[in-house]
């Protein structure tokens, strides 16, 4: 049974976690090939913009949720050094044990904890930044997760979201992007990971997800103020940064 056909929230969430366990060892390679490396620039842009908004040279903690293999934490550290920012603690949280095993093997400066976005294993008002890259659409109880982000962030703290948001596509270039996402991406990702189902799920999950405007509205309803929104590569990826108020 496909993930999109499951109606029970817990069952659907467990199936998504199992899927990521299965592709953990090839996840980084597939990401680099599928994005041709451009996702690195998207991630760095999110880090740099967050530092600009916070305008602080020392942060207590950055918490990366749905951290996967810890990719974004690597860029948080690199960009912090480039921006002259000191970050005292790096924490990565993910429900996939397989992903965390890979993360621990490549990132030696962060603490990695098994946990869900909607039930974060961190104290109230304990972190300056919560980031989640290409993971929020995989959280079944998304509103609960946003409430958890608000709880865990310090006053004035930021949530930084990178995601493939749903777009209205009508032009020729838009149709080419759609064709690539629905036909080429599953084949290439499936070939690299040996799991076609996982990469077939990606474009389907985007179609079922929110628009950028709807996600921004959910953030504002949850107690955040939108600070920055930017679309990359013909709307394939979107960066949203919101501040706890």
Would you state the pLDDT for residue 61?
Answer: 98
pLDDT at 135: 87
The answer on whether 25 is annotated among ligand-binding residues is no
Distances (CA, A) of 158 to 12, 46, 103, 146, 198: 29, 11, 23, 12, 30
pLDDT at 73: 98
Per-residue pLDDT of the chain (245 residues; tens, 9 = 90+): 444 444 577 777 777 777 777 776 666 766 665 565 688 899 999 999 999 999 999 999 999 999 999 999 999 999 999 999 999 999 999 999 998 999 999 999 999 999 999 999 999 999 999 999 988 988 888 999 999 999 999 999 999 999 887 655 555 555 555 655 565 556 655 556 666 566 665 656 556 657 889 899 999 999 999 999 998 866 678 999 999 99
Question: Cα angle vertex 169, ends 165, 174, to 5°?
Answer: 100
**Model pLDDT, residue 13:** 77
Using an 8 Å Cβ cutoff, are 158 and 228 in contact? no
The pLDDT of residue 1 is 40
What is residue 212's predicted lDDT score, i.e. its pLDDT? 87
Residue 84's H or E segment, with its range, is none
d(CA 144, CA 94): 16
What is the distance in angstroms between the CA of the first residue and the CA of the last residue of the chain?
A: 42
pLDDT attached to residue 220: 97
What confidence score (pLDDT) does residue 10 get?
75
pLDDT of 50 reads: 98
**Domains annotated on the chain, with CATH:** 3-244 (3.40.50.150)
Annotated binding-site residue? 193: no
**pLDDT at residue 111, as a whole number:** 98
The whole-angstrom separation of Cα 62 and Cα 91 is 6
Q: How far apart are CA 6 and CA 138, in angstroms?
A: 13
Asked if residue 133 belongs to a known ligand binding site, the reply is yes
Q: Do the beta carbons of residue 46 and residue 131 sit within 8 Å?
A: yes
Which residue, chain included where needed, has tokens 């955040």?
A: 224
């Amino acid at each position: 049974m496909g993930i999109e056909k499951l109606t029970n929230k817990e069952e659907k969430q467990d199936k998504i976690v199992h899927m990521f366990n299965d592709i953990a060892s090839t996840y980084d390679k597939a990401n680099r090939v599928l994005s041709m490396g451009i996702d690195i620039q998207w991630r760095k842009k999110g880090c740099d913009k967050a530092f600009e908004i916070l305008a602080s040279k020392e942060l207590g903690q950055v918490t990366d949720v749905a951290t996967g293999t810890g990719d974004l934490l690597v860029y948080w550290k690199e960009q912090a050094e480039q921006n002259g920012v000191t970050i005292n603690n790096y924490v990565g949280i993910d429900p996939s044990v397989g992903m965390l095993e890979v993360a621990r093997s490549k990132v030696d400066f962060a603490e990695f904890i098994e946990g869900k976005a909607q039930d974060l294993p961190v104290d109230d008002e304990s972190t300056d930044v919560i980031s989640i890259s290409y993971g929020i659409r995989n959280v079944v109880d998304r509103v609960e997760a946003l409430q958890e982000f608000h709880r865990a962030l310090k006053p004035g703290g930021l949530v930084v979201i990178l995601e493939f948001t749903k777009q209205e596509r009508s032009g020729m270039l838009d149709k080419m992007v759609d064709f690539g996402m629905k036909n080429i991406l599953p084949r290439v990702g499936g070939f690299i990971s040996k799991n076609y189902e996982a990469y077939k799920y990606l474009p389907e999950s985007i179609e079922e997800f929110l628009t950028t405007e709807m996600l921004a509205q959910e953030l504002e309803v949850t107690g955040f103020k939108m600070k920055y929104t930017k679309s990359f590569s013909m709307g394939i990826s979107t960066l949203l940064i919101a501040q706890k108020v």
